[in-house]
Amino acid sequence: MLFELLINFCILFTFAILTYWPFQDSKYVKNPLPKVHPYLIGTMGGLAGFILMELSFHITESILMDSKHVILVIIGIFGGPIAIVISGAIIGISRIFITDVMTSYDLLFGLNIVVIGIVMSTFCLKYPITFKNARFYFYYTTAQTALLFCYHIEHTSGSYLQLVYFILFSAISFFTVLYVLVELNEHFRKIRHTELLSETDYLTGLYNNRKFHQLTESYITDSTKPFSMISIDIDHFKKVNDVHGHSVGDELLKELGERLKNLVTSKEGYVTRNGGEEFVVLLPDSPPAMGLDLGEKIRSSVARFPFKGSGDQEVTITVSVGVSSYPDNGLTINDLYNAADMALLESKANGRNCVSHFNNQKA
């Protein structure tokens, strides 16, 4: 018996880990058909439940001890109510026909799994299964299955001992797997947080210079379409810090970052802070005219609306903007960045608070 239960646990554990990796860690493994996700998870859970039954321990000729009901809870965490219903149906039907001669026990225990799947999925619609509340769903599935065992096994001390074994085995299997999954989830959460910190600016939350180079490189490598680089610099920012203090200067940088994000949605392009008071906007699929148009929209928006610092003090600033475009002004990151910077310098030379494109520089 111990050997069969150990195999059962290993299958359950392997299924949980292999299910978590491709479907939960979406940063590294992209699901090309996200709408199929619950159906795929449910089918995988059903097949895993079938394998568990094939390698189960027989309490009697028709009553099996395994962890197939635990599968439904794990499925609920990863795939939601649809996955639970699919898994419950596959496991339940398999349970009915798993023996050579179908008995009333097979029918009853098979229907039990189907009912558990329906009940869990119904509750899951209002209370989605998470790592925190999964134990309550486990208590329900184990209690209902144990009551069914208790009703049909012989009422002897040996039979009740086997029932205790079933409950203990279910609890050890479930809580061990749940603990590992929680730790794995926390591990990936920390990795994603660390990666986010490595590519974002600590003050504004925008992408930093490192991410700017990655994005620009990907545009150059993967795209045959033109794109624009818009370099933005706050005019006389040192004076703002001197007059109002560095804390107000930091607040101004944060608010400017928010305004730029609102002006440039993630679908349109990316905003980065490359250091100090310098910001850059990368605008894909945009020829020079589109880059100039957005640059002017940014300039006028900043000049029109004063910034509010702490203590309700208003600070009016302007920005100078320089634009370069790929492939007209360069085929490398440095060439495009230098072209945008030269256009930015021309904006400053023209009195600041204006927009220049590298193509339109004065000879």
> Residue 328, SS3?
coil
Considering the domain architecture, whether residues 216 and 353 belong to the same structural domain is answered as yes
Residue range(s) defining the domain that contains residue 102: 2-199
Residue 245: what pLDDT? 85
The answer to the question of residue 46 being in a domain is yes
In this structure, how many other beta carbons lie within 10 angstroms of the beta carbon of residue 292?
Answer: 22
Mean of pLDDT values over 153-163: 68
60: CATH: 1.10.1760
The reply to whether 189 and 220 lie within a common domain is: no
pLDDT digits (tens, 9 = 90+) for 272-298: 998 889 999 999 888 899 999 999 999
The distance in angstroms from the start CA to the end CA of the chain is 88
Give φ, ψ of 20 to 5 degrees: -65, -45
**Sign of the CA dihedral 60, 64, 65, 69?**
negative
- Please give the pLDDT value at position 136: 96
Is 326 contained in some domain? yes
Catalytic residues: 277
Please tell me the distance from the alpha carbon of residue 189 to that of residue 21, in angstroms, as a whole number: 13
Of 199, 227, 250, the residue at which a domain comes to its end is 199
Answer yes or no: do 7 and 55 share one domain.
Answer: yes
Residue 204 covered by a domain? no
What whole-number distance in Å separates Cα of residue 79 and Cα of residue 60? 33
> What percentage of the chain carries pLDDT values higher than 90?
36
Choose one of 147, 169, 199: the last residue of a domain: 199
Q: Model-level pTM greater than 0.85? A: no
Domain boundary among 164, 199, 234: 199
- The pLDDT, as a whole number, for residue 27 is 47
**Do 134 and 15 lie in a common domain?**
yes
Distance CA 201, CA 190 (A): 18
| Domain co-membership, 137 together with 242 | no
| pLDDT on residue 58 | 64
User: How do residues 224-237 score in pLDDT, each as one tens digit?
Assistant: 788 999 999 999 99
- Which 3 state secondary structure label does DSSP give 308? strand
CATH number of the structural domain spanning residue 269: 3.30.70.270
Residue 254 and residue 177 share a domain: no
Q: Give the whole-number percent of the chain exceeding pLDDT 70.
A: 87
**Same domain flag for 180 and 278:** no
Q: Into how many domains does the chain fold?
A: 2
Same domain, 227 and 169: no
Q: Are residues 178 and 307 in the same domain?
A: no
**232 and 177 in a common domain:** no
State the Cα–Cα distance between residues 149 and 119, nearest whole angstrom.
19
Kindly state the average pLDDT of the residues 239-258.
88
Q: Are 116 and 155 in contact (CB under 8 A)?
A: no
